[in-house]
């Protein structure tokens, strides 16, 4: 379980972990295919199939998260399209109580996201998330994603955290396993990243549906 008295550093994912994943799911599954269909004169179903096929080809790689890559591949103004539905960018209801509890307990709190810097910037603009976190990192600055051990090696070198006193929170099984492989001692899976979809626990990890249930134990 989580031995809070031994945890010094908390590394946090962003999308689905601190922010409701509904924005991203809606953007890539609905908003982008609609724009792609209009741009390339396709039916919506054909556009969805083509976008999905291109997504699958780079899934888990840094390109999958790269807005510059998708702007080239889809020939669409991706950042502008994101801004069109920016009202859907929302913090999870339990995020701020969790972050405030971590800071009150003296934990070092670091955001580590695969999101492109432009996406991170837009989400900070809409949520003021930066006011509650010590350091914000986009993995694009390292040229690799959290799925890669190379990322964890560079991150540990720069942040000088001790894996044995570090907690990592994410909603991706692949990424949690990568952190586990690197030796991060404490791992927490988010079972309900998208508020519009049913929760689904990630086997093999401690799962949470609501950070507020953890607050009394944080010290």
Sequence-ordered list of residues with C-beta below 8 angstroms from that of 207, at least 6 positions apart, any chain: 188, 189, 190, 191, 201
**pLDDT the model gives residue 158:** 97
Counting every residue written for the chain, the total comes to 219
Predicted confidence (pLDDT) at residue 60 exceeds the cutoff of 90:
no
Q: Which of 59, 87, 115 is the last residue of a domain?
A: 87
**pLDDT the model gives residue 1:** 80
Residue 174 sits in the same domain as residue 108: yes
Residue 72 sits in the same domain as residue 95: no
Cβ(133)–Cβ(139) below 8 Å: no
Residue 78 sits in the same domain as residue 97: no
Residue 51 sits in the same domain as residue 129: no
Residue 133 sits in the same domain as residue 208: yes
Mean pLDDT of 144-153: 97
DSSP 3-state assignment of 94? coil
CA-based end-to-end distance of the chain? 14
Compute the half-sphere exposure of residue 43: CA atoms within 13 Å on the CB side of its CA: 3
Rounded-to-integer distance, Cα 41 and Cα 129, Å: 38
Structural domain tally of the chain?
A: 2
Mean pLDDT of 142-166: 97
Residue 102 sits in the same domain as residue 73: no
**Percent of the chain residues topping a pLDDT of 70:** 100
Q: Is the overall model pTM greater than 0.75, yes or no? A: yes
Q: What is the pLDDT of residues 8-55, one digit of tens each?
A: 999 999 999 999 999 999 999 999 999 999 999 999 999 999 999 999
Q: What is the pLDDT of residues 92-144, one digit of tens each?
A: 999 999 999 999 999 999 999 999 999 999 999 999 999 999 999 999 999 99
Sequence-ordered list of residues with C-beta below 8 angstroms from that of 160, at least 6 positions apart, any chain: none
Q: Mean pLDDT over all residues of the chain?
A: 97
**Domain interval for residue 76:** 23-87
Residue 78 sits in the same domain as residue 167: no
Sequence-ordered list of residues with C-beta below 8 angstroms from that of 141, at least 6 positions apart, any chain: 117
């Amino acid at each position: 379980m989580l031995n809070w008295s031994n945890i010094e550093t908390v590394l946090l994912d962003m999308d689905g972990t601190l922010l409701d994943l509904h924005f991203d799911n809606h953007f890539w599954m609905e908003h982008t295919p609609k724009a792609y269909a209009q741009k390339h004169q396709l039916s919506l179903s054909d556009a969805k199939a083509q976008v999905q096929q291109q997504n699958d080809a780079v899934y888990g790689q840094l390109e999958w998260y790269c807005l510059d890559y998708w702007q080239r591949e889809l020939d669409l103004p991706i950042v502008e399209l994101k801004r069109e539905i920016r009202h859907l960018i929302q913090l999870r209801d339990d995020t701020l109580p969790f972050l405030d509890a971590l800071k009150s307990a003296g934990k070092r709190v670091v955001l580590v996201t695969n999101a492109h810097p432009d996406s991170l910037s837009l989400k900070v603009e809409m949520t003021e998330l930066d006011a509650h976190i010590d350091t914000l990192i986009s993995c694009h600055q390292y040229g690799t994603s959290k799925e890669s051990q190379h990322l964890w090696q560079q991150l540990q070198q720069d942040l000088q955290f001790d894996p044995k006193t570090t907690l990592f929170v994410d909603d991706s099984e692949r990424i949690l396993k990568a952190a586990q492989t690197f030796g991060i001692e404490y791992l927490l899976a988010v079972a309900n990243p998208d508020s519009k979809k049913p929760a689904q626990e990630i086997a093999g990890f401690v799962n949470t549906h609501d950070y507020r249930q953890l607050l009394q134990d944080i010290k």
